[in-house]
Chains A and B, each alone.
Chain A
Amino acid sequence: MDISLNYEKLLLGILQFIIIIALAPFFAGLIHKLKQNFRGQKGINMFQFYFNFGKLLRKGVVLSDEASYISIISPYIILSVYLIVLGMMPAFYIYSLFSRLSDIIVIVYTLGAGVFFLTLYSLDQGSPFGGLGGEREWFFTMLSEPSLIFIFITLAIYSRKGMLVSIFDFIQKNALGGHFSIAIPFILLISLFILGLSENARIPIDNPETHLELTMIHEAIILEASGKYLGIFEYSSYIKLSIFLTLMSLIIFPYIAYTPIDIPLALGLYIFKMAMFCFMISIVESLNPKMRLFRAPNLLSIAFIISLIAMILSIRGV
């Protein structure tokens, strides 16, 4: 696949980037809304998380006495790291803004950089809760990172491409031509769904709604954050959720526009697919209780085994 850029592609890439950034809080809000509806609550406005973000930006920051420079830089670093990964996703237009960077290993390790700074942030204020969250964050990252790499490498082996953009280009073209076994994306989807739950602090693993030190992971990390820093952390978590949902939507049913004319349909389908995955996540979150911490490795090892099986199935020799 040719990934050389011209002005049209660049412009559309930037447009796609801005649209998916802008949509990120909407999907998080949608999951929340659907969950509340399942519980029989009236629920929040679907766009509530935009208002929250705006309100947090308007608030002043209270920084801990113990905080060093890490507390000041890491929110921005985490945001830009997740943004660059989101910019690599060919969500509905194939020439994504950072399509050149979308090497699979780069994606996984860049996400790792986000976790790295998140945990440094958690230790920076000398709070007993922060370290607790940081420890658990690494605990789950360590268990889920091999599966994530396996998912990407399965796709790479199957399509013989190493760039995410070319992989989905391959899947889309060959899915239409009927040359692509549909089994592998389905198997990968299960694994990716479990990882999506664990990486984005969703219910069987973590519960973002509670502030009880026994259960919280992601909330414990950002417990000391306030004002705009809290806003940035929240937005980063929406972007991370968007990254995983976009990956899922691309793996199972890629419909990516190659020309500007196709973009409206592709965008519509993208939002529809994302909404469907939000619906699935909200069902899972409503029907399941939060797992005990040391039960979670079982779930994550299932994800690992599934992606291993997919990888073995995708190997086909020379």
Chain B
Amino acid sequence: MGSGTRDFIRYTGIYISIGAGLFFLFFPFLFPLKEFYFYTFPFPLTFKIDKLSVFFIIIISLISFFVSVFSITYGKEYREKPHIFLLTPAFILSMIFVVLSNDIITFLIFWELMSLSSFFLVISEGKPESKKAGLLYFIMTHIGTVFITAGFVLLYLKSSSLSFGGYKNIAGILILGLMITGFSVKAGLFPFHVWLPHAHPATPSNISAIMSAAMVNVAVYGVIRVLFVFGLKIYPFLGIILLVFGALSAFFGIMNALVQTDIKRMLAFSTIENIGIIYMGIGLSFWAYSTSHAIIGSLAFMAALLHILNHSLSKSSLFMGSGVLVKNVRSRNMEELGGLAKRMGFFSVLFLIAVMSISAIPPLNGFLGEWYLYVSLVGATQTSNLYIIYFSIISIALLSLTGAIAGAAFAKLYGITFLGKHRSEKARNAGKTGIIENISIFMPVFLCVAIGVYPYPLISFLNGVSLYLSGTKGALSNSGHFLAVQTFRNFSYSSYYPLLLISGILGLLFIGAILIKIFSNNSLRRYKTWGCGIEEENRAAQFSGSGFSYGIMKVFSTFYSRASEIKFDSEVKKYFRKDTFYSEEIGDILEKRIYDPIKRIIVKISGYADSIFETGSMNLSLLFIFLALVLCFIIYLFLVK
């Protein structure tokens, strides 16, 4: 294949993705709330647009559009691998069709297509670590698919209908448990998150933006669909379990994100955190609907929906930003970056806004979802249910801790990456960002600011989604002179005025700046940073990324599995060593303590099974297949029927 052909394939793929993103962005408005049937050979493929799928289609197609525009120039990095850009539209379309599908077969076909195309995208860099990450992703995804399929089979047996239309409010606890477990594996919730931090760093940045900001949402869509449409709302404890796992996931994710120095790995852990926050909203909402606390339910549901959108916008821009850094500096390691704010002016401002948005700094959109979650959690402590009071107090504690650590983690990300002196020669020679890259990051960042400052149209739209799913009204009212994001009139707890907040802060900023400008000496002189009077230029003397999280890591040392090593020439006396190497490895404690032992056990059992069953005789193999079929039949007869 010549380079001309490869470029042609790449650009074709990118333009198809852009077209698909744009088309499906407007698709729900062209065909509002319609059903589609495509009669293909074995089964008809059926699709339906309802308010829930509209929300997710808009998110997926928006993110795909942004990232595809970004790929126009970023794609040149993968000039030798044009198949990435052919797989991307397939990946995007399969995500959209999963959300649209209206029966089991269609859902599972596109779910599997989505998993497979993303698997090929994960391994597309072809390095050993991306192959390893791909294998882990493949295994985890298919464990999830097994659970989802089992849930669907049980749904089919219960309703004898393949279409989602027949599943309204019939799923019992077994089905809900199976399917939510399956979707949680894909979403990367706390105990099942291990694949995420491996898959994201190994994947091209544009693909990890889509995976983290869109694909994870498809799994969340599954959870919402199963819980709120299929599920019987009579299991309050299921809601509490989701709330607790969400809180644990948020805490665990951000604790690990804090100590990472690889930008993309850090962002992957932050995805786990945000999925946890979304699950908290979903779980609390399900609990509230199950115990007929409709107000808390709709507030928490609003928190979950808002956080889904906000996380997608800010995370996609951050992953695209990490792509820009990889492209221009050739490093994902924070310790090798630094000083980029002076070289990439506009881009660094965009990145700062995205970072502020994801760490929930008030006037921006990230705060909005968390505010709703806090309000609904405080509402839950005022009910008469003892269990939810306990668990919402624990959740408030974990959520506030998460919020504070998120601030630290993202201040570290921005501060170490963009501020200070350049930490390596690579960072000193960093290239400039292209205009298309800037535009494609600007779009989601602009939406972050717009939603944060003026969320009212979005909230009334989300009210519609909430109304569709639960039949209760959402949480908005415009009262008085200022626009407020308010809780209900009959639950007049609190209100938040984002427009007033931002105008207050900006007004004080301008008044303060003008007053200080008038009354102060405006002379400005540039000089070296104070270095204890030492003249020597030493960029390694500034604070490092791993140093920035050291204090917190020491206090919470039980949460980390950390190994550090210092290498030096022992022959030379202490103060005269020329080279000292410090290396540090911080692993995921769950992976080390739980997943690795399980892996070893499975490998051992498989070894035994191999030695027993691997006889080389065809008859014996046929016998085993027959026995397996009989076993399945017995399970069907005695357990399912």
A residues with a Cβ closer than 8 A to B are 4, 57-70, 76-77, 79-81, 83-84, 87, 98, 100-101, 103-106, 108-110, 112-113, 115-116, 119-120, 122-132, 134-136, 138-139, 141-143, 145-146, 148-150, 153, 156-157, 160-163, 223-224, 227-228, 231-232, 293-294, 297, 308, 311-312, 315, 317-318
Contact = CB atoms under 8 A, between A and B. Distances in A.
B361 A128 contact: no
B141 to A, nearest CB: 34
A139 B411 CA distance: 12
Contact of A162 (B421, B493, B547, B551): B493
A61 B523 contact: yes
A167 B316 CA distance: 39
Nearest to B401: A146
A103 B492 CA distance: 12
Interface stretch (B8-16, B155-163, B389-397, B452-460): B389-397
18 contacts: A57-B521, A59-B521, A61-B524, A62-B524, A68-B341, A76-B509, A106-B496, A110-B501, A112-B404, A115-B407, A123-B420, A130-B543, A131-B415, A145-B404, A156-B493, A227-B521, A294-B554, A297-B555
Contacts of A132: 543, 547
A132 B414 CA distance: 16
Contact of A60 (B480, B524, B547): B524
Contacts of B541: 128
A208 B473 CA distance: 52
B397 A134 contact: no
A76 B551 contact: no
A120 B411 CA distance: 6
Q: Among the interface residues B356, B375, B550, B555, which one has the most CB atoms of the partner chain A within 10 A?
A: B555
Q: Among the interface residues A100, A129, A143, which one has the most CB atoms of the partner chain B within 10 A?
A: A100
Contacts of B539: 126
Contact of A124 (B420, B495, B551): B420
A128 B547 CA distance: 11
Given A70-B341, A112-B403, A116-B359, A123 B415 contact: yes
B501 A61 contact: no
B606 interface: no
Contacts of A68: 341-342, 348, 418-419
B436 to A, nearest CB: 23
A73 to B, nearest CB: 9
Contact of B404 (A105, A146, A163, A294): A146
Interface string B384-424: 10000100010011001101110110110011101111000
Contacts of B508: 79-80, 83-84, 87
Contact of A161 (B401, B493, B547): B493
Name the 7 nearest CB pairs between A and B, nearest first: A131-B543, A162-B494, A123-B415, A60-B523, A126-B420, A126-B421, A68-B341
Interface in B364-389: 367, 370-371, 374-375, 378, 381-384, 389
B520 interface: yes
Contacts of B547: 131-132, 135
A228 B520 contact: yes
B505 A84 contact: yes
A160 B493 contact: yes
Interface stretch (B76-84, B99-107, B525-533): B525-533
Nearest to A5: B481
B420 A138 contact: no
B362 A120 contact: no
Interface residues of B, number: 88
Nearest to B528: A65
A131 B494 contact: no
A60 B375 CA distance: 46
A116 B420 contact: no
A254 B539 CA distance: 52
A80 B503 CA distance: 11
A116 B526 contact: no
Contact of B375 (A61, A109, A162): A162
A84 B521 contact: no
B524 A318 contact: no
A157 B389 CA distance: 11
Given A76-B509, A143-B555, 10 more contacts: A62-B527, A98-B500, A100-B500, A103-B494, A115-B407, A119-B411, A128-B543, A134-B415, A135-B550, A294-B554
Given A61-B525, A66-B421, A101-B501, A106 B404 contact: no
Nearest to A118: B411
Given A65-B526, A84-B504, A134 B384 contact: no
A80 B525 CA distance: 25
A126 B529 CA distance: 7
Interface in B512-548: 512-513, 516, 519-531, 539, 541-544, 547-548
A294 B557 CA distance: 13
A297 B341 CA distance: 34
B493 A139 contact: no
Given A60-B521, A119-B411, A142-B408, A224 B419 contact: no
Contacts of A227: 520-521
Contacts of B542: 126-128, 131
Nearest to A86: B508
Contacts of A156: 378, 493-494
Nearest to B523: A60
B339 interface: yes
A230 to B, nearest CB: 11
Q: Among the interface residues B345, B487, B516, which one has the most CB atoms of the partner chain A within 10 A?
A: B516
A112 to B, nearest CB: 5
Nearest to A147: B400
B497 interface: yes
B362 A109 contact: yes
B197 interface: no
Contacts of B204: none
A84 B547 CA distance: 32
A186 B533 CA distance: 49
A115 B360 CA distance: 13
A84 B362 CA distance: 12
A123 B523 contact: no
Contact of B407 (A61, A128, A138, A153): A138
